Amino acid sequence: MSVSGGPAASDKRELRRELLAARAGLTPDDLRESAAALARRALELPELAQARVVAAYVSVGSEPGTLALLDALRARGVRVLLPALLPDNDLDWGVYDGEGSLASVRHGGRMALLEPVGDRLGPDAVTGADVVLLPGLAVDGRGVRMGRGGGSYDRVLARLERAGAGAALVVLLYDGEVVARVPSEEHDRAVHAVVTPSGIRRYGSVSS
């Protein structure tokens, strides 16, 4: 694997540009239809059917839509944790209590994020989740995920690993974002499954 800043990092930047450009071309109808299909597929996952606590996120912009899935999980009685971005790019967590429990927060010049308005539970709260739903731009045939490059979820994955957490790691993507190979770096970790509007791919069992 390459070290950060090497050829893999450059290749990632190029792949990110391509994938973000494809997302930018999606219409509102595309986004609505994909979000509904994604929720249906994700709810087929046995890990989600058995989960009591799910760490998730609120999609923004042209990301694969998550609100329908969050509401469906909450309706099942699942405790849904959502992230709040900290100044150092780490993530704190709060409980999702419906769309009314979200507030739009802008961090510097970035796109505004929807974050939970209730009590903060601390960055380590994610280690108690049965399933962690991860944003991303691509996953390859090895299960290696590529994010946007901010590093927030690299910290989450490292925290889960340090804690010995057995959470199922699931990435939500569009169909065209399952690629042959993601340029990988030393800190990259494989996930257990990817859900797209057309189906589910698995990459190995959840550690016990």
**Binding-site residue ranges:** 12-16, 58, 63, 145-153
Compute the distance between CA of residue 156 and CA of residue 141 in angstroms, rounded to an integer.
22
The secondary structure of 56-72 as a DSSP string is -----TTSPP-HHHHHH
CA atoms within 13 A on the CB side of 164: 1
* Binding positions for ATP: 12-16, 145-153
**Other CB atoms within 10 Å distance of the CB of residue 165:** 18
| Distance linking the first and last C-alpha atoms of the chain | 27
Q: Is the dihedral of CA 133, 172, 38, 35 positive or negative?
A: positive
Annotated binding site for substrate: 58, 63
Residue 148 near residue 72 (C-beta atoms within 8 A): no
- Neighbouring C-beta atoms of residue 6, cutoff 10 Å: 13
> CA 76 to CA 78: how far, in whole Å?
6
Diameter of the chain measured on Cα atoms:
45
